[in-house]
Amino acid sequence: MSDQTVRQRSRSTAPTAPPLQPGLLREGARNPGMPLELDWVREVRINLSAVERRAATLGTRRSVKKAWQAAWLLKAVTCIDLTTLSGDDTPGRVRRLCAKARHPVRGDILDALGMNDGSIRVAAVCVYHQLVEAAVQALAGSGIPVAAVSAGFPHGLNPLPQRLQEIHASVEAGAREIDVVVTRGHVLTGNWEALYEEVRAFRDACGDAHLKTILATGELATLRNVARASLVCMMGGADFVKTSTGKEGVNATLPVGVAMARAVRTYAERTGYAVGFKPAGGIRTAKQSLVWLILMKEELGTGWLTPELFRFGASSLLGDIERQLEHHVTGRYSAQHRHPLA
């Protein structure tokens, strides 16, 4: 299945967002951030009912079946940050997870799909700081980066110098991506200057490592706060904006995804820099992954359907995708335990 197959649209007469203008984006350029523009942040408005209607139709207006579905699911695999963030994580579990990251789909399934050429692998492996070294060693030579959750994850309430020290330590241990949770209090009190300075400090501490800012959207009260916080993080130099830690009561939801994707689009249109988007928490099924891919395609265009600009923060998602791919090949559903992760 070619990448062109993945990019084809399923039939629909419903309107979609117009593509970003050719030449608008600085392709491949990392977002450097910009001075904080409070007027821009304060003028953000969200039509809640319209966003909720938009989110409700994402999974109903398009139907992706058969070979098209298999192609989209393979695309989803390449956008997964394969994650383990449990209190009982061990180096052995991380090594097994990294082995799965190298070969996320069984070889016999890929053979049947004509895709067993080594191109199907996950986007990154995400672990706690103390397990970065084990992951780096297990992934040596694969080209798969290690992402570390740092800066007082998941609450982000440690003193700022301590959070910055943890980021430095993760980078020194070999992490090439850093997922940090921002201070929710800055958002809830409208202290945008403090949020901006915090993200700038995170970005400086990351150096060449890419910065993913976690908003913990389930704790931000309103979609307007979500959109405003997304903009401020991008102004501060974030490479990705991420919905959740996966530890909140409410994690990635489609209305939040619409609001954040449109913030990413607005930032790209005004600055020319493409910032990535990462929904995380609660995305467990292949069907859910297809809806999120449709959201990205319709709101931001096919240019965002790459691991450079879109990630799933997930663990169990990969097992269900592999199960659906096996069904496409064999016509039979297998038990979940036939597709272990670690």
Q: Is residue 3 part of a domain?
A: no
Q: Is residue 21, in this structure, part of any structural domain at all?
A: no
Q: Alpha-carbon distance 308 to 187, whole Å? A: 27
Q: Given pLDDT bands bounded at 50, 70 and 90, which one contains residue 59?
A: confident
Percentage with pLDDT > 90 across the chain: 81
Q: What is the pLDDT of residue 9?
A: 35
Would you state the pLDDT for residue 342?
Answer: 54
pLDDT tens readout for residues 311-329: 999 888 999 999 999 999 9
CA torsion sign, 263 to 266 to 271 to 277? positive
Q: How far apart are CA 201 and CA 213, in angstroms?
A: 12
Q: Which of 179, 212, 239, 297 is catalytic?
A: 179
**Confidence at residue 25, expressed as pLDDT on a 0 to 100 scale:** 72
Instruction: Tell me, yes or no, if 179 is annotated catalytic.
Output: yes
Q: Which residue has the higher pLDDT, 337 or 252?
A: 252
Is residue 211 within 8 Å of residue 237, measured between CB atoms? yes
pLDDT tens digits for 179-197?
A: 999 999 999 999 999 999 9
In a domain, 278, yes or no: yes
- The CATH number of the domain holding residue 172 is 3.20.20.70
- Considering 75, 100, 278, 297, which one is annotated as catalytic? 278
Residue 52 has pLDDT above 80, yes or no: yes
In-domain check, residue 256 = yes
How would you write 314-333 as a 3-class SS string? ECHHHHHHHHHHHHHHHCCC
Domain containing residue 201? 34-338
Q: Looking at the domain assignment, is residue 213 inside a domain? A: yes
In a domain, 24, yes or no: no
**pLDDT for 19-51, tens place per residue?**
555 456 777 789 999 999 999 999 999 999 999
Q: What angle do CA 54, 295, 100 make, to 5 degrees?
A: 145
The catalytically annotated residue of 75, 100, 242, 297 is 242
- What pLDDT is recorded for position 6? 38
What pLDDT does residue 27 have? 73
- Mean pLDDT (whole number) for 289-299: 96
CB contact at 8 A, 212 and 240: yes
For this structure, is 3 an active site residue? no
For the chain, where are the E strands, in sequence order? Answer: 80-83, 124-128, 146-150, 177-181, 210-214, 240-242, 276-278, 312-314
pTM: 0.90
Instruction: Name which of 313, 310, 312, 309 is nearest 31 in CA terms.
Output: 309
pLDDT in tens, 82-106: 999 999 999 999 999 999 999 999 9
Chain segment 249-272, per-residue pLDDT in tens: 899 999 999 999 999 999 999 999
Is the pLDDT confidence value at 11 over 70? no
Q: Is 247 a catalytic residue?
A: no
Mean pLDDT of the chain: 91
Is 202 a domain residue? yes
Q: What is the pLDDT of residue 333?
A: 81
> Quick one: pLDDT at residue 262?
97
State the total domains in the chain: 1
Give the separation between CA 222 and CA 237, rounded to whole angstroms.
Answer: 23
